[in-house]
Amino acid sequence: MTKLNILAFSGSLRAHSYNTGLIRAAAQLAGDQMQITLVDISSFPLYNQDMESHFPAELTQLKQQIREADGILFATPEFNRSIPGGLKNMLDWTSRPYGDNPWAGKPVATMGAGGLVGTALAQYHLKQILLYLDARIMGQPEFYVSGTKEKFDEQGNLTDEKTTEKIVKLLTHLRTFIES
C-alpha cells in the first residue's frame, strides 16, 4: 500500500491547542498508511495585495506543498462562529495570484474541537471557502468534538478513546476518498 502524503493545518496557534492535538493524534494513528505533516501557519505575514509582486517565498513553497499533497486535513477551532484569522490568512495567500490555485481538485477533510457546538459553524465556513477554491471536500463522516476538557490533557494531547476511534474512521474514509 502506498503511503499517502497528507498536509495538515491547525487553525489554532495556541501552544496547548486541542485542534493541534487532533492533528498530532491523527499523525500517530495514520501509521504506515499516511505521512501527515503539520504546517506552521503562525509566521505568515498578513495578506496584502501590494505584496503579491514580491510573493513571500514561504508561501510559494506552501503552494507547491499543497500541489504535491495527496490530500489535506484541517483541524479548526471556532472563533466567533467562523474560522480563526490565521487560517483565513493562509487560504487567502495560497489562493493568489488569481488563476494560480493549488486547491483546485484537492481532496480535503475537516475536523474541529472546542465550544458547545464542536466547531460545526466554523467547519461549515471553512468548507464554504474551500468549495469556492474548487477543492474536493469530503462530506462524511463529520467530525465535531465538544466537552474538550474531559477529552484532552493540559498539553492538548488527546486522551479520549471514542474520539480516537473517530479519527481512525475519518482517516480510513479519507484514504478511500482520495483513491476514488
Ligand X SMILES: Cc1cc2nc3c(=O)[nH]c(=O)nc-3n(C[C@H](O)[C@H](O)[C@H](O)COP(=O)(O)O)c2cc1C
Whole-number minimum distance, CB 119 to ligand X, in Å? 7
Q: ∠ CA 102-108-112 to the nearest 5 degrees?
A: 125
Strand-strand pairing, 71-75 and 107-113: parallel
- What are the φ and ψ backbone dihedral angles of 123, each rounded to 5 degrees? -65, -35
| Residue number closest to ligand X, CB atom | 115
Pick 72 or 178: Cβ nearer ligand X: 72
Q: Which of residues 14-73 bind ligand X (CB under 6 A)?
A: 14, 17-19
Whole-number minimum distance, CB 100 to ligand X, in Å? 30
Q: Sign of dihedral through CA atoms 71, 170, 22, 26?
A: negative
123 binds ligand X (CB under 6 A): no
Of 45, 48, 28, 44, the closest CA to residue 36 belongs to: 28
Pick 32 or 150: Cβ nearer ligand X: 150
Give the CA distances from residue 161 to residues 34, 117, 125, 140, in Å, rounded to whole numbers and listed in that order.
21, 20, 28, 20
| Rounded CA Rg of the chain | 16
Pick 127 or 136: Cβ nearer ligand X: 127
* Residue from 58, 81, 165, 172 in contact with ligand X (CB under 6 A): 81
86 binds ligand X (CB under 6 A): no
| Helix segments in the chain, DSSP class H | 18-29, 57-68, 85-94, 120-132, 161-179
Q: Count CB-CB contacts under 10 A for residue 173.
A: 16
Whole-number minimum distance, CB 166 to ligand X, in Å? 16
Whole-number minimum distance, CB 148 to ligand X, in Å? 6
Whole-number minimum distance, CB 164 to ligand X, in Å? 17
Whole-number minimum distance, CB 10 to ligand X, in Å? 7
Region from 9-17, 24-32, 44-52, 130-138 binding ligand X, contact rule CB under 6 A: 9-17
Q: Which residues contact ligand X by CB under 6 A?
A: 12, 14, 17-19, 77-81, 114-117, 148
